[in-house]
Amino acid sequence: MSTENPTPEQSRPAGVPAWSATVLGYPRIGPRRETKKALEALWSGSADVATTERALADVRARTLRRLNDLGLHAHDASIPSAFSAYDHVLDAAISIGAVPPRFADVVGADGRVDLAGLSTIARGRGADAPLEMTKWFDTNYHYLVPEIAPGTRFRLADDRGVREFSEALADGFLTRPVLVGPVTFLLLSKPADGSPEGFAPIDRLTDLLPAYAELLAAYAAAGAEWVQLDEPALVSDSATAGVSDLHALVRSAYDALTAAPGRPRLLVAAPYGDLGDVLEPLAATAVDAIAIDLVRGAVPASAPDGLAGKTLVAGVVDGHNVWRADLAAALRRLQQLAPLTGTVVASTSTSLLHVPHDVAEETGLDERLRGWLAFADQKVGEVVLLGEALRDPDTRADAIAAGSAARADRLAAPGVVRGDVRERLAALRPQDLRRSDYATRRAAQESALGLPLLPTTTIGSFPQTGEIRSARAARAAGRLSQEQYEEFLRAEIDRVVALQEEIGLDVLVHGEPERNDMVQYFAENLDGFAVTRHGWVQSYGSRCVRPPILWGDVTRPAPITVPWSTHAASRTSRPVKGMLTGPVTILAWSFVRDDQPLGDTARQVALALRDEVADLEAAGIGVVQVDEPALRELLPLRRADQPAYLDWSVAAFRLATAGAADATQIHTHLCYSEFGEVIDAIDGLDADVTSIEAARSRMEVLPDIARAGFARGIGPGVHDIHSPRVPAREEITELLRLAVASVPARQVWVNPDCGLKTRGYAETVPALRNLVAAAAEVRAELAAEPVAEPVPAS
Ligand code: GLN
Ligand code: ZN
């Protein structure tokens, strides 16, 4: 592959890139998770900072070569410099000096933060809590939330990004540095503790811009021709909710940055959704290029003023799904843009950080399925091809047709559309989504289960011990037979059931030892899914996940969890809760087919789960929990799209659960407590009991829940399982008193915030003992002085 510029530098007007194709970003974890391994070696003390820096530099150097081999050019800034050791939002915070005061000591005299310091901010240290972590737009990537105070002093503090640019340049690559743009940076930040009421980080935009200008000048001084500023917040209604005049804000930010002396050319990228009319203020500024997401967003109907002189970087290749693009259709969209603007560049819709490296590694996948897939490296090939075809439609016609043919092959392949599945779905009636009224169910469940006031339970998983992991590895390597492995799991379940009885929990679980990743587990046991071997993507920091690929119509060839749950039930006379993962969460944590609406796919998964619920019930399991921790994650970024999403996601949950008899108690579990925008949806799930995260926020959410008139069971978590700390009995008692002060006691359940699989037994056992003792104490208090139950204010 040539590394020459395709167009001679002199023939281009100033501000027009030489490239015809680019990607907005690339995986940072390394093809064999080298970044993860290097960081974890640093954290465990087996590597020092210098060794770790070398390992990360090696990942970067190999990325440059790879992208060049795949067809991006070495000398024209089409290769992004988008590495991050841990998280790109944290990197931005560190580079502009926004390190919280509790970590001031990790900042060197020169303003730099080394990898050890960066890790400390990301992971916390003793009493110094790490930066909060939260989901990045509607993806399963998590970023660290910067803390901004009215007095945070912004400046060019750490030049790690500039050094990485120079390192690449010395290696022969003129890259395009990528950083989080100033508007998004502040909109994603939160006010530091102690900030005055009403303060919002975005109020500091004018103070922040000079630091960005300084940073941009440093890149230019190091030789950068282009810098990419990512502004995904501009496509999200919730991120911009507090801004009164978004257009004016964008205009002022980019007027200021483009007026700064000594700046490189600027590409402003708006991935993850439709930029809509925010294209107008951006086009009106002097930025040189704008990247829009044409997978999620639409081709603009007309060109706003100022766009004609700019380059449009058109995200026509999906950056966060794994299917080969319909290249002919993508090329047509690129051609539609030509009348709107001076120059069109083919690109991915988002950074490729959300997809695995290379399909060629997946030699275990079905050959035909493999032919439908494009991971990061294949997507680079697609944009390169589209860029060439855009310049000269005749050159690559065969390759363009091949891309579209792969898609056509997928849509026609057996299993993608199954008559039996479609017929079952078409035959569903409205009543299949409805259970009896709650009062009837409640009465039936009370007599069937005979539970005390404030019943105690857990969220499902028990600690995944070293023995469990070894047994799983031994099974995978063939050292344990399937029978031996299942024998091991049954013994583990026996132990966990006996422990729960001894601790005195009311509703028991089997402990989920058979699942490592719950979505992967269900995917492995349902038809229509495939799982990969090396298909890792970054979830946060060094943590990677391997999302399954949902490629076809979904069916359940056999019961999945029934043998484990019934085995647990055979060991106790107490109720055992069956454990399923809900349809929305299965979709959110998989790569999903893109040939039909998500809601249709969700209904198929729901139908499979409905059969599982029926089989659990028939086997005598009277309580079934269907986890939906990702319900909020898929919430569309544009408010206008949210009602339709909530409709189909709620309907899918109800389809999965509404076949249950009145006496069967349906639980659900959500991994967060920010209920705001989804509270009606949670009510709409119509679960008999809903457990949520609440320990850290000290039950903050309960008054809102009561106010919303939520009348069914609610289990606000009383044990923060994200920390190894064992909550004292008094602490839990206090939380439960708070709970029964805002919600009628007969609705309250007592449980941890989430599953216990990441904890050890040393913490789990005392924590659960305290939980049971606290429930008993508050139960006794309630019996002693039957106070008037709080009446929800409506
Ligand atoms: N039942 C699952 C567990 O206990 C729930 C996990 C989750 O909410 N993410 O692990
Ligand atoms: Zn959870």
pLDDT value at residue 8: 39
* Residue whose tokens read 């008899």: 661
Do 752 and 658 share a structural domain? Answer: yes
Instruction: Name the pLDDT band for 627 (thresholds 50, 70, 90).
Output: very high
Within-domain flag for 18: no
Reply yes or no on whether the pLDDT at 77 is more than 60.
yes
pLDDT 10s digits, 423-466: 999 999 999 999 999 999 999 999 999 999 999 999 999 999 99
Nearest CA to ligand 1 atom 10: 755
- Per the domain annotation, does 762 fall within a domain? yes
Tell whether the model's pLDDT for residue 175 goes beyond 90.
Answer: yes
- CA atoms of 606 and 155, how far apart (whole Å): 51
Determine the Cα–Cα distance for residues 750 and 573; give it in Å rounded to an integer.
20
Region 700-718: mean pLDDT is 92
382 with 474, same domain? no
792 pLDDT band, cuts 50/70/90, is low
Residue 4 above 60 pLDDT? no
Contacts of 324 by beta carbon, 8 Å cutoff, 6+ apart = 371, 372, 373, 374, 378, 382, 403, 406, 407
Q: Are residues 455 and 590 in the same domain?
A: yes
| 506 within 8 A of 456, measured Cβ to Cβ | yes
Average pLDDT over residues 254-266: 96
Same domain flag for 399 and 476: no
Report the pLDDT value the prediction gives residue 69, as an integer from 0 to 100: 98
Distance from residue 459's CA to the centre of ligand 1 (Å): 6
Cβ neighbour number for residue 159 with a 10 Å cutoff = 19
CA distance 347 to 557: 40
- Are 131 and 122 in contact by the 8 Å Cβ rule? The answer is yes
pLDDT digits (tens, 9 = 90+) for 476-495: 999 999 999 999 999 999 99
pLDDT-derived band of residue 65, with 50, 70 and 90 as boundaries? Answer: very high
Pocket probe mutation, ligand 1, options 669, 673, 768, max atoms within 8 Å of Cβ = 669
**Is 443 inside any structural domain?**
no
| Across 594-609, average pLDDT | 97
Q: Could you list the active site residues?
A: 722
521 and 514 Cβ atoms separated by less than 8 Å: yes
Q: What is the pLDDT of residue 280?
A: 97
- When divided into structural domains, the chain yields a total of 2
Rg (CA), the chain: 27
Per the domain annotation, does 24 fall within a domain? no
* pLDDT > 70? residue 2: no
Report phi then psi at 481, rounded to 5: -75, 165
Average pLDDT, the chain: 94
457 and 322 fall within a common domain: no
If asked whether residues 394 and 466 sit together in one domain, one would say no
Q: Is 631 in the pocket of ligand 1 (CB under 6 A)?
A: no
pLDDT for 676: 72
- Do 250 and 332 share a domain, yes or no? yes
pLDDT digits (tens, 9 = 90+) for 711-724: 999 999 999 998 88
pLDDT value of residue 724: 81
What is the rounded average pLDDT of the residues 178-190?
A: 98
Residue 648 is assigned to a structural domain of this protein: yes
| Residue with tokens 């110094």, as numbered in its chain | 128
Among residues 387, 412, 437, the one where a domain terminates is: 412
Ligand 2 centroid – CA 672 distance (Å): 7
Least confident stretch, 345-349, 442-446, 613-617, 679-683:
679-683
* pLDDT-derived band at 419, boundaries 50, 70, 90: very high
Q: pLDDT grade, residue 680 (50/70/90)?
A: confident
Cα–Cα dist 405/13, whole Å: 37
Eight-state DSSP code of residue 102: G
| Whether the Cβ atoms of residue 297 and residue 274 lie closer than 8 Å to each other | yes
State the pLDDT confidence band at 789, using cuts at 50, 70 and 90: low
Q: Which of 734, 743, 742, 747 is nearest to 774 (CA)?
A: 734
- Both 126 and 224 in a single domain? yes
What's the confidence (pLDDT) of residue 525?
Answer: 98
**Any atom of ligand 1 within 6 Å of the Cβ of 460:** yes
- Considering the entire predicted model, what is its pTM? 0.94
Would the pLDDT of 794 be above 70?
A: no
- Under the banding of pLDDT at 50, 70 and 90, the label for residue 13 is low
| DSSP 8-state assignment for residue 744 | -
Q: Indicate which ligand has the atom closest to the C-alpha of 588.
A: 1
Q: Which ligand is nearest to the CA of 757?
A: 1
Which element (helix H / strand E) includes 631? none
Report which of 450, 512, 442, 428 is spatially closest to residue 687, judged by C-alpha positions: 442
Closest CA to 606 of 591, 586, 629, 623: 586
Phi, psi of 672 (to 5 degrees): -155, 175
> How far apart, in whole angstroms, are the C-alpha atoms of residue 317 and residue 333?
11
Residues 523 and 591 in one domain: yes
Residue 616 CA to residue 432 CA, distance in Å, equals 18
Closest CA to 186 of 171, 161, 206: 206
DSSP bridge pairs for 668: 626, 690
pLDDT at 377 over 90: yes
In eight-state DSSP terms, residue 345 is E
In whole angstroms, give the CA distance from residue 321 to residue 733. 46
Beta bridge partners of 560: none
Beta carbon of 459 within 6 Å of any ligand 1 atom? yes
Percent of the chain with pLDDT over 70: 97
User: Do 552 and 602 sit in the same domain of this protein?
Assistant: yes
pLDDT for residue 672: 72
Q: Indicate whether 387 and 245 sit together in one domain.
A: yes
Q: Whose CA is nearest to atom 5 of ligand 1?
A: 755
Based on the fold, state whether residues 478 and 341 are members of the same structural domain.
no
pLDDT range class, residue 6, cuts 50, 70, 90: very low
Note the ligand closest to the C-alpha atom of 509: 1
Lowest mean pLDDT among 172-186, 265-279, 330-344: 330-344
Please indicate, yes or no, if residue 470 is contained in any of the structural domains. Answer: yes
Q: Is the CB of 240 under 6 A from ligand 1?
A: no
- Residues of the chain with pLDDT > 90: what percent? 88
Compute the average pLDDT of residues 719-739: 93
In a domain, 417, yes or no: no
Q: Is 669 in the pocket of ligand 1 (CB under 6 A)?
A: yes
The residue segments making up the domain with residue 702 are 450-783
Assigned domain for 529 exists: yes
The yes-or-no verdict on residue 14 having pLDDT over 90 is no
CATH code of 258's domain: 3.20.20.210
What angle separates helix 598-618 from helix 642-657, to the nearest 10 degrees? Answer: 20
User: Poorest-confidence range of 289-298, 397-406, 649-658?
Assistant: 397-406
Could you tell me the pLDDT band of residue 10, with boundaries at 50, 70 and 90? very low
Chain segment 639-676, per-residue pLDDT in tens: 999 999 999 999 999 999 999 999 999 999 998 767 77
Closest CA to 716 of 771, 784, 787, 646: 771
